[in-house]
């Protein structure tokens, strides 16, 4: 009868076995390889690496496979693994101006040094389902172009040369960069922590918040100054060697939003910045991040903070999808002890209500 | 591929040291919420990650661990956490309250009185007792610093004005050592008196919210109330149907679709021990077998 009390252990084991079975699907269909996931579900892998805060395509592909394609679950798997990794130190800041660019667009200038490079993008595709993909259709070789050695300066640097955009703050090597995975977050939070929080934040949440700023909830008049995607070198200064050692290259997407200007009695008006950075090709994420970053700078820029996207405690406390999904889904756990105490009180209140009503009737009868 | 290797009780020693520091600070300031750099654990946030991190940080090889959820050792999440430590720390586990040196709990305090050789670790979802009155952390920290708890008393007073009773039945706020108002985690208020002058050390871990707090042994813990509306615990109409205890917290079990109900101890170890000692309730051996 009362099965909830015992047998939980076997039930868990059986549930896990069933899950593994469901994950594999029809055994007559070949198993998904990690190479297939990392090579063909590239953008899923990029998102899992970004929000999982770990640059490892193979592990991200494994997480996606294990999570049955549930990306938040995959992000969770990667994060839990990341939490156990030792820290050797921090790399040198990556130089996105020296990026080996695969795609680079600006919506603020028609032409820019280095040119607009469309690269692999869904933009301008017609969203028609392609039946040829139901089979392993041959894909034509991509067009090849000449490689130019011409530098590809960042649009914000071009604007910056004329002082038209606020200066990017210089990194202070004496000031350690905050890490909210190592130190508990407290408010107000500085921009390094805010950016880290946003970089790990849920793409959907940031998309909605960024969108809300465009619809008037904390408007920032943004222009996509530049979005670039490609490879950058990562360097690490080894204490023993005394110089920067290249560790390899990683693929990044960077978005620099150019926003409404600001000036004061002492400073000439100039555009302000919103910044987004993510692993792999993650344009929606970096654009949303840049919008929200700019909105969150309201306090620093002396703007009224009245909208959700400008409220750092609201944004930063709710952006993490691993935290959010855990707490929302914990409602599945038994709560019968608490529920019982509510039931007890509710019954008591209802009894008192009925008693009071009967009392009223008796009083009314007595009055007649 | 980077094959993972895990330390004793899962967490690396650096992380354990960080958590132990937070625990020591928490013990030094009873009831104060100490921020700590909570890690991502291999179970979801909201499912006991705070308690698991505290347990992992204090567990030694000689410890005996008991894990309960809703008072029971056999609820799925309790089993999952117990297995986690069996696997990562290879320590002894038990379901017997008096045999355990560390007890991790969700939503209950065991009925059996704890001793000075035990530590009770609570899993906490929302550590801030003022959170539902004031959503901002910056504000609530200030209120704690100033001991400004008027808002909480107003809330409790409004309950009385509206319902005739204080309508908080679980996570009932307490004042620790006459200083900090503290959330006892969502235990039913029935359990609140057990926290007062408790011989065991009580540690509270909130993983998602990144807070640890503590009640050192034999610390004064009072439930908030008013002189004319003193704190009172809920009393059940009937004793446990299985062991006949008239002093334990009971779960209501729906036994049929005709309004049939059975009330049994929520603390399964307490109930089983009593039955083994020969106590019997009215429902024992009747139609509604517990298997």
What are the pLDDT digits (tens) for A316-332? 999 999 999 999 999 99
- Give the separation between CA B42 and CA B83, rounded to whole angstroms: 13
**pLDDT at residue B286, as a whole number:** 47
Interface residue of B8, B26, B40, B139 to substitute, partner A, most A CBs within 10 Å = B40
Of A12, A329, A338, the CB nearest to B80: A12
Q: Examine the pLDDT at A66 and tell me if it is beyond 80.
A: yes
DSSP classification of residue A117? B
Q: Examine the pLDDT at A291 and tell me if it is beyond 80.
A: yes
Among residues of chain B, what percentage have pLDDT more than 70?
Answer: 96
Using CA coordinates, name the residue in chain A closest to B14: A86
Interface residue of B45, B248, B285 to substitute, partner A, most A CBs within 10 Å = B45
Of A12, A184, A341, the CB nearest to B79: A12
**pLDDT at residue A2, as a whole number:** 42
Question: Could you give the residue ranges of the DSSP H alpha helices within chain B?
Answer: 13-28, 49-58, 76-89, 137-145, 150-163, 192-195, 268-276
Q: Is B4 on the interface with A (CB under 8 A)?
A: yes
Residues 21-40 of chain B with CB under 8 A from chain A are 35-40
Of A59, A186, A330, the CB nearest to B2: A59
Q: Is B64 on the interface with A (CB under 8 A)?
A: no
What are the pLDDT digits (tens) for B158-191? 999 988 889 899 999 999 999 999 999 999 999 9
Could you identify the residue written with the tokens 């100033």? B146
Q: Examine the pLDDT at A3 and tell me if it is beyond 50.
A: no
**pLDDT at residue A147, as a whole number:** 75
Length of chain A: 368
Average pLDDT over residues A331-355: 90
**Which residues of chain A does B72 touch, with a Cβ-Cβ cutoff of 8 Å?**
5
Query: Are the beta carbons of B74 and A81 separated by less than 8 Å?
Result: no
**Which residues of chain A does B288 touch, with a Cβ-Cβ cutoff of 8 Å?**
1-2
What are the pLDDT digits (tens) for B250-277? 998 888 888 888 999 999 999 999 999 9
**pLDDT at residue A87, as a whole number:** 83
Query: Are the beta carbons of B210 and A326 separated by less than 8 Å?
Result: no
Q: Is B250 on the interface with A (CB under 8 A)?
A: yes
How many helices (H) and strands (E) chain B has is answered by: 7, 12
Of A84, A327, A335, the CB nearest to B208: A327
**pLDDT at residue A168, as a whole number:** 85
Instruction: Check: CB of residue B95 under 8 Å from CB of residue B78.
Output: no
What are the pLDDT digits (tens) for A131-171? 999 998 889 999 888 877 788 899 999 999 888 999 888 77
**pLDDT at residue B288, as a whole number:** 46
Averaged confidence pLDDT in chain A = 91
- Give the separation between CA A149 and CA B99, rounded to whole angstroms: 73
Out of A359-368, B18-27, B115-124, B152-161, least confident range: A359-368
Could you identify the residue written with the tokens 């280095």? A114
Q: Examine the pLDDT at B148 and tell me if it is beyond 90.
A: yes
Q: Looking at the annotation, which residues of B are catalytic?
A: 31, 240, 243, 265, 271
Query: Are the beta carbons of B75 and A326 separated by less than 8 Å?
Result: no
What are the pLDDT digits (tens) for B73-120? 988 889 999 999 999 999 999 999 999 999 999 999 999 999 999 999
Work out the pLDDT band at B151, boundaries 50, 70, 90.
very high
What are the pLDDT digits (tens) for A184-240? 888 999 999 999 999 999 999 999 999 999 999 998 899 999 999 999 999 998 888
Query: Are the beta carbons of A181 and B266 separated by less than 8 Å?
Result: no
**Which residues of chain A does B74 touch, with a Cβ-Cβ cutoff of 8 Å?**
5-9
Work out the pLDDT band at B237, boundaries 50, 70, 90.
confident
Using CA coordinates, name the residue in chain B closest to A77: B42
* Entry pTM: 0.88
**pLDDT at residue B149, as a whole number:** 97
**pLDDT at residue A77, as a whole number:** 96
- Give the separation between CA B57 and CA B38, rounded to whole angstroms: 12
**pLDDT at residue B291, as a whole number:** 39
Helix (H, G, I), strand (E, B) or coil at B56: helix
Q: Examine the pLDDT at A302 and tell me if it is beyond 80.
A: yes
> What does each C-alpha distance from B242 to A1, A3, A342, B288 come to in angstroms?
14, 15, 23, 10
Query: Are the beta carbons of B208 and A349 separated by less than 8 Å?
Result: no
What are the pLDDT digits (tens) for B44-66? 999 999 999 999 999 999 999 99
What are the pLDDT digits (tens) for B206-232? 999 999 999 999 999 999 999 999 998
Neighbours of A127 (CB within 10 A): 6
Residues 174-233 of chain B with CB under 8 A from chain A are 186-190, 208, 210
Work out the pLDDT band at B128, boundaries 50, 70, 90.
very high
What are the pLDDT digits (tens) for A84-123? 888 888 899 999 999 999 999 999 988 888 889 999 999 9
Query: Are the beta carbons of B46 and A3 separated by less than 8 Å?
Result: no
Instruction: Check: CB of residue A322 under 8 Å from CB of residue A197.
Output: no
With a CB cutoff of 8 Å and minimum separation 6, the contacts of A230 are A99, A100, A101, A102, A103, A104, A251, A252
Closest CA to B36 of B48, B46, B47, B50: B50
Of B44, B234, B250, the CB nearest to A329: B44
Could you identify the residue written with the tokens 């919420």? B33
Could you identify the residue written with the tokens 């820290």? A87
Closest CA to A83 of B48, B36, B39, B290: B39
Give the largest Cα separation in chain B, rounded: 67
Q: Is B274 on the interface with A (CB under 8 A)?
A: no
Averaged confidence pLDDT in chain B = 92
**pLDDT at residue B284, as a whole number:** 56
**Which residues of chain A does B1 touch, with a Cβ-Cβ cutoff of 8 Å?**
58-59, 62
Interface residue of A179, A187, A321, A333 to substitute, partner B, most B CBs within 10 Å = A333
Of A5, A323, A333, the CB nearest to B290: A5
**Which residues of chain A does B11 touch, with a Cβ-Cβ cutoff of 8 Å?**
84
Burial of A214 (0-12, 13-18, 19+ CB in 10 A): middle
- Give the separation between CA A193 and CA A214, rounded to whole angstroms: 24
**pLDDT at residue B4, as a whole number:** 63
């Amino acid at each position: 009868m009362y099965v909830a009390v015992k047998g939980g252990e076997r039930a868990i084991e059986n549930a896990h076995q069933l899950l593994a079975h469901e994950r594999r699907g029809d055994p007559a269909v070949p198993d998904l390889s990690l190479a297939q996931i990392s090579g063909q579900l590239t953008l899923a892998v990029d998102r899992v690496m970004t929000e999982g805060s770990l640059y490892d395509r193979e592990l991200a592909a494994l997480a996606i496979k294990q999570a049955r394609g549930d990306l938040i679950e995959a992000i969770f798997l990667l994060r839990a693994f990341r939490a156990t990794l030792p820290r050797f130190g921090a790399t040198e800041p990556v130089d996105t101006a020296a990026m080996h660019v695969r795609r680079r667009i600006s919506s603020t200038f028609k032409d820019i040094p280095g040119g607009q490079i469309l690269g692999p993008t869904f933009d301008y595709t017609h969203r028609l389902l392609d039946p040829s993909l139901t089979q392993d259709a041959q894909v034509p070789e991509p067009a090849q172009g000449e490689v130019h050695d011409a530098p590809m300066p960042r649009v914000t640097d071009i604007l910056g040369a004329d002082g038209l955009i606020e200066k990017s703050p210089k990194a202070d090597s004496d000031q350690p960069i905050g890490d909210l995975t190592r130190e508990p977050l407290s408010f107000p939070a500085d921009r390094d922590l805010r950016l880290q929080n946003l970089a790990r934040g849920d793409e959907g949440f940031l998309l909605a918040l960024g969108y809300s700023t465009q619809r008037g909830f904390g408007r920032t008049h943004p222009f996509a100054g530049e979005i670039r995607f490609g490879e950058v070198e990562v360097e690490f200064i080894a204490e023993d060697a005394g110089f920067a050692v290249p560790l390899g290259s990683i693929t990044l997407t960077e978005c620099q939003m150019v926003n409404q200007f600001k000036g004061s009695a002492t400073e000439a008006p100039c555009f302000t910045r919103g910044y987004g950075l993510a692993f792999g090709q993650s344009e929606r994420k970096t654009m949303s991040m840049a919008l929200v970053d700019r909105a969150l700078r309201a306090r620093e820029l002396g703007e009224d903070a009245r909208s959700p996207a400008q409220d750092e405690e609201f944004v930063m406390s709710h952006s993490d999808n691993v935290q959010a999904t855990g707490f929302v889904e914990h409602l599945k756990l038994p709560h019968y002890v608490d529920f019982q105490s509510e039931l007890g009180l509710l019954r008591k209140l209802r009894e008192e209500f009925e008693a009071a009503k009967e009392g009223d009737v008796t009083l009314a009868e007595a009055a007649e | 591929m980077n094959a993972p290797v895990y330390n004793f009780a899962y967490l690396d020693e650096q992380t354990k040291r960080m958590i132990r520091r937070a625990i020591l600070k928490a013990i030094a300031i009873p009831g104060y919420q100490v921020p700590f750099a909570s890690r991502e654990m291999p179970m979801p946030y909201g499912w006991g990650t705070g308690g698991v991190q505290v347990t992992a940080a204090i567990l030694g090889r000689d410890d005996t661990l008991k894990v309960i959820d809703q008072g029971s050792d056999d609820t799925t999440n309790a089993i999952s956490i117990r297995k986690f430590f069996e696997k990562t720390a290879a320590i002894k586990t038990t379901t017997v309250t008096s045999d355990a040196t560390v007890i991790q709990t969700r939503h209950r305090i065991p009925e059996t009185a704890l001793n000075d050789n035990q530590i009770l670790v609570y899993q906490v979802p929302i550590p801030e007792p003022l959170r539902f009155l004031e959503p901002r952390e910056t504000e609530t920290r200030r209120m704690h610093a100033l001991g400004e708890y008027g808002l909480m008393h107003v809330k409790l007073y409004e309950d009385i004005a509206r319902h005739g009773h204080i309508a908080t039945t679980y996570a009932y706020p307490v004042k620790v050592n006459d200083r900090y108002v503290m959330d006892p985690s969502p235990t039913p208020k029935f359990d609140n008196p057990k926290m007062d002058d408790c011989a065991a050390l009580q540690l509270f871990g909130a993983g998602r919210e990144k807070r640890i707090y503590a009640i050192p042994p034999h610390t004064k813990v009072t439930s908030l109330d008013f002189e004319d509306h003193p704190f009172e615990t809920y009393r059940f109409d009937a004793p446990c149907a299985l062991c006949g205890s008239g002093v334990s917290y009971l779960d209501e079990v729906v036994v049929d679709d005709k309004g049939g109900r059975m009330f049994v101890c929520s603390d399964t170890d307490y109930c089983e021990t009593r039955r083994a000692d020969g106590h019997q309730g009215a429902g024992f051996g009747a139609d509604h077998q517990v298997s």
